[in-house]
Structure 1
Amino acid sequence: MESSRPYIMIAVCLCARFQAAPKTSHLQAVKRIFRYLKGAPRLGLWYSKNDKFNLYAYTDSDYGGCNLDKKSTSGGCQFLGGRLISWQRKKQTCVSTSTAEAEYNAASSCCAQVIWIQNQMLDYGLTFMATPIHIDNKSAISITNNPVQHSKTKHIDISYYFIRDQAEKRRIILTKVHTNEQYTDLFTKAFDEARFRYPVESIGMMNFD
């Protein structure tokens, strides 16, 4: 379902967390997802051949969004020009103690996906360096760009410092984006209809009727 409907990923992933022992409320939520899909069978992603061919990404995180264990959820999406080519949503493995840590961990996961895309593009003779990754948290950008580990960041898992290494090699660049223009919110948070419409339209969802 998510291969052409990225905007339902948050609902699908939340239901998937309870698939081992679902309750009635979870089954009702799944039925609502299927009823929606049945009512909009021809809505999908549109890929234009005339867009620019530049690689960029967005990353975001909620903070302690899971009510059961207070773990945060990472989200990311990657574009070639105006074409959405990859997107992710995953609950983080450890509890973050600040929004900066949650956003930094999410940015590291997004960075890994960007590096994988860069390596894949090399097979086609295309080189993408200094790929911008848009994030709406200045503290996470500062942690990435500052080579000194302060006491407030020493507890962060060493695996997440992968993004700092890639930033030093200029393979990626973290750039600040306004929260209202953060497309990845679509994969980490629930919206009302008005707030939901903007990112859905921005990632190129079209009705093919």
Structure 2
Amino acid sequence: MSRVPYAFVVGKEHGNAMKWILRYLHGTSDLRLCFGGDKPTLVGYSNSDMVGDIDSRKSTSGYLIKFAGGVVAWQFKLQKYVALSTTEAEFIAITEACKELLWVKKFLQELGFVQDKYLLFCDSQSAIHLGKNSTFHSRSKHIDVRYHWIRDALDAKLLELAKVHTDDNGADMMTKIVARGKFEACYEIAGLAITFT
């Protein structure tokens, strides 16, 4: 083979996207994850959009998990099932974030950092209520049982769900396009800071 596959620009849009990515990487080269604080705590932020993928009609879940002020885990991905409401999409996102928080908690325990309970922030009051309320309603009975195990975590006092204003939700940048000011606020929440070398 005489040429490397994909070593060329496919179209003008791809070339423009590549230039944008390179400018972004150059402009953020001074950003660093910063950890610190008197008492390192584990905290998470969860968010979801509604029908973010126009073709499949699926929503996107996103979460950030912080320890000692800096992000240690993050993810955004398309949900496996089509959510029938914003509440359901947010509830699925909460569950995914909770699973990751539980894993990070166990990992940190092996390293000697013990924390009895962790806090998960979400900007959907109705999704938080759905997680705390064990009664099935006509609006939630269709939600796959795999997402309802979060109630056991709440009952066992392993997790606390808390409402956060959307302006203070660091996971917002994971699920939707946000303005520059909001993006910078999400950076700050994630523990990213400009350092001078």
What does 1:6-155 align with in structure 2 at a 5 Å threshold?
Answer: 24=11, 25-26=13-14, 28-48=16-36, 50-155=37-142
- Residues of 1 paired with 2:31 and 2:103: CA distance? 29
| Residue 122 of structure 1, CA deviation | 2.1
| Residue 51 of structure 1, CA deviation | 4.2
Normalising by structure 2, report the TM-score. Answer: 0.86
Note the alpha carbon deviations across 1:120-175, whole angstroms, 9 max, x for none. Answer: 12213333222111111111111111111112111111111121121111111111
Asked which structure has the greater CA Rg, the reply is 2
| Unaligned runs of at least 5 residues, structure 1 | 1-18
- 1:26/1:160 Cα in 2 relative to 1: closer, same or farther (>3 Å)? farther
| Residue 91 of structure 1, CA deviation | 0.8
Q: What residue in structure 1 maps to residue 173 of structure 2? A: 186
- Residues of 1 paired with 2:141 and 2:14: CA distance? 39
- 1:27/1:109 Cα in 2 relative to 1: closer, same or farther (>3 Å)? farther
What does 1:159-178 align with in structure 2 at a 5 Å threshold?
Answer: 159-178=146-165
Q: Give the 3-state SS of the residue equivalent to 2:127 in structure 1.
A: helix
Q: How many residues are treated as equivalent by the alignment?
A: 188
- Residues of 2 paired with 1:191 and 1:112: CA distance? 26
* Matched residue type, 1:54: T
Tell me the C-alpha RMSD between the 2 structures.
2.0
- Residues of 2 paired with 1:35 and 1:99: CA distance? 34
Normalising by structure 1, report the TM-score. Answer: 0.82
- 1:51/1:77 Cα in 2 relative to 1: closer, same or farther (>3 Å)? farther
- For the 8 Å contact 2:45–2:64, the answer to whether it is kept is yes
- 1:194/1:125 Cα in 2 relative to 1: closer, same or farther (>3 Å)? closer
Say yes or no: does 1:208 pair with 2:195: yes
- 1:197/1:165 Cα in 2 relative to 1: closer, same or farther (>3 Å)? same
* Matched residue type, 2:50: Y
- For the 8 Å contact 2:187–2:193, the answer to whether it is kept is no
- 1:119/1:92 Cα in 2 relative to 1: closer, same or farther (>3 Å)? same
- Residues of 2 paired with 1:80 and 1:194: CA distance? 24
Q: What residue in structure 1 maps to residue 3 of structure 2? A: none
Q: Give the 3-state SS of the residue equivalent to 2:148 in structure 1.
A: helix
